[in-house]
Amino acid sequence: MELASDRIYIAVQLALGKDGRERAFDRICRVFGREIYFYISTVLPRHGGHIDDCYQEAMLRAYNGLERFTPGRPVRPWLYRVAHNCCVDFLKSDRDEPLEEVPALPVSRDSGPEEELVRRELADAIDASIALLPADEARIVYLRLYGGMKFREIADVLCMNESTVKTRFAAARRRLRDDLKEWL
């Protein structure tokens, strides 16, 4: 997750010019790489073979975009916006690949078999519930609950009205709460 020290480091490096941009990009990859990759995989669930391509394209655009990036601006919303636009461009190009199987979550070594079974059932229930959400609502849930982004920032990433984001998040939250009530 992004820390204040990461924000300060990136802002300082971007102010230093070309060499600083390399270091800022290095830090951006380390801090945000995984969650951006995961986000792309949720937007392109049927294009497993091209998630890597889309991720690399997104990070390349981010690297090129750093030249115009204002130091001190929040990086996360901007990066998600770049990744989301990359996914939209990819979907528009209408590539079609067979579904790639997503590997199952590994067994946790710290928990016993009963806890592991409960954890897997909960994970399956959450996956099933999120899969039933409309795509926009699922993305809003991810950006809000995992990304920790404000509604305004989510609206900027997804090119939506802020009030629309709030409404859809509330609707998604209600559905999730109903589906997962036995776990709460």
Partner 1 sequence: MKLERIIREHYARKIEAVVAPAVSAQLPRSHGAQSFREGLLFSMAFHAAIAFLCVLCLIRAGDLSPLGERIGKVAADHSFDLYLEGRIADFTRIVQTVRHQGK
Interatomic CA distance for residues 134 and 62, integer angstroms: 28
CB of 121 to partner 1, least distance (A): 12
Per the CB < 8 A criterion, the answer to whether 28 and 60 are in contact is no
Question: Residue 30 CB, nearest distance to partner 1 (Å)?
Answer: 5
Q: Which is nearer to partner 1, 92 or 124 (CB)?
A: 124
| Least Å from the CB of residue 71 to partner 1 | 19
Q: Give the residue with the Cβ less far from partner 1, 81 or 119.
A: 119
Residue with tokens 């982004």: 149
Residue type, 23: R
Find the shortest distance in angstroms from Cβ 107 to partner 1: 10
Amino acid making up residue 143: L
Q: Which element (helix H / strand E) includes 58? A: helix 51-65
Which of 70/144 has CB closer to partner 1?
144
**Amino acid residing at 86:** C
Closest by CA to 180, choosing from 139, 129, 119, 143, is: 129
| Interface contacts to partner 1, rule CB under 8 A | 23, 26, 29-30, 33-35, 37-38, 41, 51-52, 55-56, 102-103, 105-106, 122-123, 126, 141-142, 145-146, 173, 176-177, 180, 183-184
Considering the complex, state which of residue 32 and residue 78 has its C-beta at the smaller distance from partner 1. 32
CA distances from 104 to 3, 70, 110, 124 (A): 30, 40, 17, 10
CB of 145 to partner 1, least distance (A): 5
Cβ contact 32:97 at 8 Å: no
In the complex with partner 1, the residue whose CB is nearer, 91 or 125, is: 125
